[in-house]
């Protein structure tokens, strides 16, 4: 529903920096629990390294990313991910990622204050 043009106002509420309507939207939910941290980092890096996807004006990936530093080596930053135009540092917590159409990569659109989505405290 995020990608339908009738719901453009909903998209702008959830990801305000995304202004272009893209015909193909890919909504991804990554939670790094149970030692899956390294796998989710590879998945996001694979999306970023897909030049056909990142250069296409018709592809919009939206990513909910919940990282939790619970496994060895899981605190590495994601290669190619930007925050405010710079390489994004590691964050143990929740981020929304969206495509930066100018930089042709993924960027941090929003960071949430909660540490992990599993814990509602």
Q: How confident is the prediction for the chain on average, in pLDDT?
A: 77
Q: Evaluate if residue 119 carries a pLDDT over 80.
A: no
Strand partners, 98: 62, 107
Greater confidence, 91 or 34?
A: 91
pLDDT digits (tens, 9 = 90+) for 31-90: 776 677 788 888 999 999 999 999 998 888 898 888 876 555 567 899 999 999 999 999
């Amino acid at each position: 529903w995020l990608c339908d043009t009738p719901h453009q106002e909903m998209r702008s509420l959830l990801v305000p920096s995304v202004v272009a309507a893209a015909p193909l939207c890919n909504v991804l939910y990554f939670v790094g629990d149970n030692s899956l941290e390294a796998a989710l980092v590879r998945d996001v890096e694979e999306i970023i390294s897909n030049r056909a996807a990142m250069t296409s004006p018709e592809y919009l990936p939206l990513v909910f990313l919940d990282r939790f530093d619970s496994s060895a080596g899981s605190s590495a930053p994601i290669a190619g991910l930007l925050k405010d135009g710079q390489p994004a540092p590691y964050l143990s917590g929740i981020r929304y990622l969206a495509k930066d159409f100018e930089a042709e990569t993924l960027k941090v659109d929003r960071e949430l204050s909660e540490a992990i989505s599993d814990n509602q405290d």
